Amino acid sequence: MKRKGFTIVELLVVIAIIALLMGILMPALARVRQLAFRMTCGTNLSGIGKAMLIYANDYEDELPRAGGRNSTWNGMPNATAWTQTDRRLAFGLGTDGSGGSASISSCFYLLVKYSEVTPKSFICKGDAGTTEFKLSDMTGLPTNFELIDAWDFGPPTESYKHCSYTYHLPFGLYALTTSNEPGFAVAADRNPWIVSPAAAPGTWGNFKPDVAYPGGTAGTSDQAKQGNTIGHQLDGQNVLFLDSHVEFAKRSYCSIEDDNIYTTSRDTAGKGDIYGVMPVASSGLVPTNRKDSILVHDPDTFTGVKPKVGR
């Protein structure tokens, strides 16, 4: 007897069923994958928060701040600064410890240098274009150079690609200490208004809080989501607070007094701001007041500074 095979019609039916199942399962699998990224990201931030408290205990209650006492946020001084032998040379400080500049990533790197946090802990898998910092990928290093010898996640052309998280601007008058309010936002996923390895900044005009706020009326849920990080598809962001707890905030206005963590406050009287002003990456950017949480990451170039190469 001859073995009967599938007819063309039967094969088409099977293919159609498989295609239908794939269409149903793929979005669900993608969603599960993103939720896994979100959980891992939150775990990373939790570990970073605990390391910050340990660091602060050793440094007069101050959270990590690279550079000197009045350094500015303008990136590392040059391409080799991250490999220098001491702090003064690394950040371009004067003999009295004044001046100089530092990056947000170099502030985080102090935890690698002094608190045994691994570079892998600073990577969110949902943050496209960002990879773990490895010395083996670097060239021209001094002899016997180790992770604890560095001052940043590589040179300026690379460091912003090896750290997924934002940090409250520690330069200026309002660097954080453990005496600040426990509900103050310290770190989070990338700022949507600053260019990242994954994308250009969002469109500011598309963002509007979905609650009433000074100077404006409530927007829609979709408008409010435009103020969230892109690393989690605008669903929200993992946020580390000063008491070291981490939560996935569905809106960016989640710091004390509903202050927006990704914008600077418009209030000069000492309050936060649910809406705020879109930040511009430059040495002049600082928190408006003590309750203004402004979480930023390093851009590929700073305003008024020669663009970095390699993006």
Sign of the torsion angle spanned by Cα atoms 58, 113, 232, 281: positive
pTM: 0.87
Check if the beta carbon of residue 107 is closer than 8 Å to that of residue 165: no
Q: Say which residue the tokens 């001094």 belong to.
A: 142
Q: What DSSP string runs through 227-250? A: TS-GGGTTS-EEEEETTS-EEEES
pLDDT digits (tens, 9 = 90+) for 236-245: 999 999 999 9
User: What gap in Å lies between CA 180 and CA 255, rounded to an integer?
Assistant: 12
Q: Say which residue the tokens 């598809």 belong to.
A: 233
Domain chopping of the chain, boundaries = 10-296
**Strand pairing of 166-168 and 101-102?**
unpaired
Chain centroid to CA 29: how far?
A: 26
Please list, residue by residue across 287-304, b when 16 or more beta carbons sit within 10 angstroms of its beta carbon and e when fewer do. bbbbbbbbbbbbbbbbee
Q: pLDDT truncated to tens, each residue of the chain (311 aa)?
A: 555 566 777 777 778 888 877 777 666 666 667 777 788 999 999 999 999 999 999 999 999 999 998 999 999 999 999 999 999 999 999 999 999 999 999 999 999 999 999 999 999 999 999 999 999 999 989 999 999 999 999 999 999 999 999 999 999 889 999 999 999 999 999 999 999 999 999 999 999 999 999 889 999 999 999 999 999 999 999 999 999 999 999 999 999 999 999 999 998 778 899 999 999 999 889 999 999 999 999 999 886 443 333 32
pLDDT digits (tens, 9 = 90+) for 110-168: 999 999 999 999 999 999 999 999 999 999 899 999 999 999 999 999 999 999 999 99
Distance between first and last Cα of the chain: 66
Check if the beta carbon of residue 21 is closer than 8 Å to that of residue 15: no
**Burial class of residue 66, CB neighbours in 10 A (0-12, 13-18, 19+):** buried
**Strand pairing of 101-102 and 72-73?**
parallel
Coarse DSSP helix, strand, coil percentages of the chain, rounded to the nearest 5 percent: 30, 10, 60
